[in-house]
Amino acid sequence: MRLAVLGGKPIRKKPYPRWPIHDHTEEAALDRVYRTPTLDESSRFAEWYANYCGVPYVLPTASGTVSIELILRALGIGRGDEVILPPYTFIASYAAIRFIGAVPVFADILPDSYNIDPADVERKITPHTRAILAVSVGGRPADCDALGAIAEKHNIALIHDAAQAVGATWRGVSIAAYGTAAAFSCQNSKNLTCGEGGIITTTDAVLHETLRVIVSGGDDTHIGVRAGINGYCAGILNAQSARFPEQLRYRQESAAYLDAHLAPLGYVSPMPGDPRVTSNAYHLYFIRIHEDKLRGVTRDRFVEAVVAEGIPLTTGYRPLYATPGVNEPHNTPVTDYVAGHEGAWLAPPTLLGTPDDLADVVRAIEKVYDNLDALREV
């Protein structure tokens, strides 16, 4: 079969499931808030999320980005302080650090999870380091054990950037309960969404109170950052939360299917499992493309051909240090390789597809591989 990218018929033309999903419960929530704009939907959602994650303190906010910024501010981190983060993530993680005047320091990622490498984190610690910002990339928790131990040893904060990780657990415990605090995003593409929103969780009562003061407008010693969640958005989250656990289970089943069908191929592979990751939130499903087995075809060209077959695959993040305005030094060879030659992910709603939708992913990848020579010659 001729490749679609070379003018052939694509594996599929049908779109993958529409996202977000909503029904009359979202309508009812919006109607409630419209009729009573001051209705406290936020507290109701916070209570649900606290129970869901098993964490005592939850603060719904305007966005995941502002959630990270609020945590850093509440911890008193600011000008001249260093915060270690991975460069293989969305710009928001970096921007939150820069916005409070602190210095972002890049630590490399691990090749078998794309999450921050604890050993490299430890190498990057200086007397100015105040926090580690550990991104759970794609929804898979970063190594909570190793990072927690490093944070404790050096008396620095461990903040989980769990923007993509609602529903993720490590050793059976929600990512929300690990470290000093965690920041989640409820932006439109996320697995638990309200369009624009975020959530902060912590087990630290004092930190939660400081966060509450800041979000409420500040006091004599804290500036005010009035970044509470909008009432409509909180109402939407209250509706979305009812169907979230089932959607998470479905995503995980889809991921298991893809794992089983991609692993034997050899030229691509799923991310290896880790028994400590007891729930991967699978906001993104990563596929590792092994360029060395593509007979001279690059990862970018391979992905382009898969996309032409109707599959929503992308080449993933560019490293943060490739962004204009990001000038911090970096020595992160794994990130360089993953971002340039290996990483790819399926767009978030793909895992909510039917078994046929998922089979098309595998069929498309196989088709492209079977036509590598034709692809290389063009």
Partner 1 sequence: MNKALKETLNHAWGTIGPRSVDGGTLIAQRLGVSHALLTYSVQAALEAVLRGLDVEGFEVILPAYCDRILADTVLMAGATPVFADIDYRTGCLSPMSAERYITARTRAVLCEALGQPDLTALAYAAGRERLVLYARDALPKTEECAAAVYGIGCGANHIGIAAVDDTAMFDRIYAAHNCGRPYTSGASESVVNTRIGGNLRVSEFPCAVLSETLAALDRDAAACEKLLSNEWPCPRMRAVHLPTAGTLLLRCDGIRCETCREALVKRGYAVERPYTALHRLPVFGGHSDEEFENTVRAETGYFRIRI
Where along the sequence are the contacts to partner 1 (CB under 8 A)? 20, 22, 26-27, 30-31, 33-34, 37-39, 62-66, 69, 79, 90-92, 94-96, 98-99, 101, 187-189, 194-197, 217-227, 230-233, 235-236, 314, 323-326
What is the biggest distance separating any 2 CA atoms in the chain, rounded to whole angstroms? 70
| Nearest CB to partner 1, comparing residues 323 and 331 | 323
Q: What is the dihedral of CA 53, 56, 60, 66, to 10 degrees?
A: -90
| Nearest CB to partner 1, comparing residues 13 and 24 | 24
* In the complex, least distance from residue 77 CB atom to partner 1, rounded to whole angstroms: 13
Nearest to 356 by CA among 364, 348, 367: 364
| Nearest CB to partner 1, comparing residues 111 and 310 | 310
Q: What is the dihedral of CA 305, 306, 308, 314, to 10 degrees?
A: -100
* In the complex, least distance from residue 296 CB atom to partner 1, rounded to whole angstroms: 26
Q: CA-CA distance, 54 to 203, in Å (whole number)?
A: 10
| Nearest CB to partner 1, comparing residues 307 and 372 | 307
Token pair recorded at residue 233: 């958005």
* In the complex, least distance from residue 33 CB atom to partner 1, rounded to whole angstroms: 5
* In the complex, least distance from residue 64 CB atom to partner 1, rounded to whole angstroms: 7
285 within 8 A of 345, measured Cβ to Cβ: yes
* In the complex, least distance from residue 81 CB atom to partner 1, rounded to whole angstroms: 13
Q: CA-CA distance, 282 to 289, in Å (whole number)?
A: 18
| Nearest CB to partner 1, comparing residues 31 and 47 | 31
| Nearest CB to partner 1, comparing residues 65 and 169 | 65
| Nearest CB to partner 1, comparing residues 41 and 117 | 41
Q: CA-CA distance, 92 to 135, in Å (whole number)?
A: 11
* Ranges assigned E (strand) in 299-359: 313-314, 345-346
Q: CA-CA distance, 329 to 101, in Å (whole number)?
A: 17
167 within 8 A of 188, measured Cβ to Cβ: no
* In the complex, least distance from residue 153 CB atom to partner 1, rounded to whole angstroms: 31
* In the complex, least distance from residue 61 CB atom to partner 1, rounded to whole angstroms: 10
Nearest to 271 by CA among 110, 161, 135: 110
